[in-house]
Structure 1
């Protein structure tokens, strides 16, 4: 049976928030952030954007700098404290709460949820509610954008429960799967120069693209586009992740 770990509010604590930002590298590398911000700015148009699980503002800060009004919803106070070192409440307002039920004031043309974060909701019902929460923030023609990885179950031979998804000097990432409950726990091993290791773990519920599309339909969305990345590469059966754009009908 898959082992359990703490929920998002415990995982994204003060220690994690302090280590989360890696300016210029990893998630914060210009080649990662620039296409993300460019695509979201285009989808927002002349309207405002709402980020679910805004975190430390990795995407929101440069998107706001592009002139897009951005509001956030976030569960972790330490993550918001890090955001506040970059942008004040007037620049990027944040409502504290979970992304499945919390409502932010204002009108939006775009809601977005990046870097696999919808999988932090550990039940199908919560994930469906996340779509419905996005829909309630949008007017006719509004868009909901999700960035999500594709489960790598094809790498699991019979009897094996884990896959290594990233390996580099000083870091090893592996996932352990519970296919019965559609759960995965990501294990992040960080090694220092002495050979000592620090382990961080986070639980997720993985979602197949087809299941994600059904969740969208239940909330009134239609799939507008799906690509393998933010730059618009074709999504194929070999793609390891996708950026999916859902849209409400133009007429309610």
Structure 2
């Protein structure tokens, strides 16, 4: 059986938020809508298709929302995750899934998983690339993904399109979810491409909990340039996991870049 002791972490980088033990313990419940079959199943289906017969590496693997269903399909999965408490939650759900505790911009795949340069697929989903809050860190993440890929392997990023087109003059916030139990909105600084997601969640006792997370947004063209710097070629871009066409009105993207077959 794989040793479940998290591998040692370096210090927390200043370009990323950190999910502590309290946040990790309530993550799955607070993010229950992300686990709904109509949200999760298309992503798992498409990633499995892109992986083919090879192993996969998930960056920002979290509590295993996507990685565990892939592993249950018989796909060899490894991960990189900054938060040790998130990995502890994952390992309570799935023993034997190798994860490196570290920064997805620079950390290597875990020693008890496939070798660097052997992965058919590397992916980062649900806007997690934005957790890297500098352009340098995002560029480094693309380079890190590329060095883990086998020739012909793919790097997949799921990322939202910033909602700044909906700003009236003078406004710096836009809602992304309004429901009975949760209200969320993003604030943006368009001079720095920095943003903050604000969450107000109604608790069972009627009180409201506030939480926030910080991010850096990036446009599709900027991501394509990061991929080119890493030696990757754009293979396709869709609006969602169902492969809906990506248009001017799309609010999200699923982008696929490929490492040339002759690359080392």
User: TM-score interval w.r.t. the shorter chain?
Assistant: over 0.9
Give 5+ residue unaligned stretches, structure 2. Answer: 1-13
Report the counterpart of residue 89 of structure 2 in structure 1.
Answer: 82
Q: 1:191 & 1:156 partners in 2: Cα distance?
A: 26
Report the counterpart of residue 127 of structure 2 in structure 1.
Answer: 116
| 3-state SS of paired residue (2:250) | coil
| 3-state SS of paired residue (1:198) | strand
Report the counterpart of residue 170 of structure 1 in structure 2.
Answer: 181
Report the counterpart of residue 65 of structure 1 in structure 2.
Answer: 72
Contact conserved, 2:237 with 2:246, CA < 8 A, in 1?
A: yes
Contact conserved, 1:47 with 1:109, CA < 8 A, in 2?
A: yes
Report the counterpart of residue 261 of structure 2 in structure 1.
Answer: 250
Q: Displacement of 1:31 after TM fit?
A: 1.0
Question: What RMSD in Å do the two structures reach over aligned CA positions?
Answer: 1.7
| 3-state SS of paired residue (1:8) | coil
Contact conserved, 1:23 with 1:29, CA < 8 A, in 2?
A: no
Q: Displacement of 1:192 after TM fit?
A: 2.6
> What does the per-residue CA deviation read over 1:15-45, in whole Å, with 9 as the maximum and x for residues that have no partner?
1111111399400001111111111111111
Report the counterpart of residue 37 of structure 1 in structure 2.
Answer: 44
Q: Displacement of 1:194 after TM fit?
A: 4.8
Q: 1:235 aligns with which of 246, 249, 257?
A: 246
TM-score, normalisation: structure 2: 0.89
Q: How does 1:1-252 map to 2 (within 5 A)?
A: 7-9=16-18, 12-22=19-29, 25-89=32-96, 92-104=97-109, 105=111, 106=115, 107-252=118-263
Give 5+ residue unaligned stretches, structure 1. Answer: none
Q: 1:33 & 1:194 partners in 2: Cα distance?
A: 30
